[in-house]
Amino acid sequence: MRVLVANAGSSSLKLRVLEADDRVSARADLPVVAHRMDASAIERWLAPLGRVDVVGHRVVHGGAEFTCAVRVDDGVVHELEALCDLAPLHQPLSLAVLAELRRLLPDAPHVACFDTAFHATLPPEASTYALPAEWRARWGLRRFGFHGLSHAYASRRARALTGDARRIVTCHLGAGASLAAVLDARSVETTMGFTPLEGLVMATRSGSLDPGLVLWLEQHTGMSADALADALEHRSGLLGLAGTADMRELEARAAACDVAARLALDVYLHRLRAGIAAMTAAMGGIDAIVFTGGVGENSPLVRARAAEGLGFLGVRLDAARNATGAGDRAIGAAGAPASALVVPAREDLQIAHETRAVMSAVT
């Protein structure tokens, strides 16, 4: 089954055609300007491709309604439009791409795959906020979790590489960052919540804050809710701490004894280690830890310093393995109780996997 995968982010649209063996036969990375995609560029790229059996779309938010991938029809589109307020940066663009590809490829079935769906298995104690019952009932307030396609792929790949890992902590570390506790292939805890702001320190996002601090800022500074949201989303995290959101620059500056860079790296790693320990506690132990995403795949320093504080959990890295290599690889020390892996992020493979599963169920 030949699958066209459409992965719409906030600044780019990644298109890939995967053959039946998951070989990438065509790819494009099209820019998104002012949160709008270039319809004519998509049409030009599609023209020489030939037959596409099915189109799989990444959609960030499925709310409580969509807990697995679904075949798209007009009713599904209508329900997804109602969720735009929950993901205003990503959802509208994903829906615009979906509409355009349905127009250009009307004879191909289209399947929506959700970043939130993998975390639909969170138990009530992990998904429920301690808020008034009437609020939770009226507005559907709960922890959704995100990066689910990446966590699903990384944990699935880890099981294949280790053969027997049941309790896996997946670390998606990129511009956005989150962790997941995956027990027997099911997400049972994660760091992001109602929005992607919760959890780890990220490139420009603050991560978890005392809500009283946000209330204090609103009451004492006169900043509007929109201004606060913009600051927490785009001007905080590593950028707020050290003036850069680039981990490579941060590491270089820290090595040169830049005080702000060292503090930013220390804060980032402190939150990361604490989060990994929390994920482990949710499963009663850990069999494997997986690093993925731009930072997770490419920063031996972050992996090494994260593991330094996790020896009591059985996580120990081999320095030489951690420092070199590419692709899927084991970086754990010989004899360490928990396996340690690096797995390149391949959301496209997870989208194709879920898309094929939907189509197999239909037929």
Distance CA 83, CA 222 (A): 29
Given the residues 29, 38, 115, 230, the one annotated as active site:
115
Both tokens of 99, joined, read: 């509409």
The answer to whether 10 touches 19, Cβ cutoff 8 Å, is: no
The 3-state DSSP class for residue 357 equals helix
Q: In the annotation, is 115 catalytic?
A: yes
Distance CA 193, CA 142 (A): 7
Q: Which helix (H) or strand (E) holds 28?
A: strand 24-33
The answer to whether 189 touches 126, Cβ cutoff 8 Å, is: yes
The answer to whether 111 touches 52, Cβ cutoff 8 Å, is: no
Torsion of CA 82, 88, 93, 98, to 10 degrees: -20
Strands 167-173 and 177-183: antiparallel
The answer to whether 112 touches 66, Cβ cutoff 8 Å, is: yes
Both tokens of 280, joined, read: 């482990």
> Which residues are marked as active site?
115
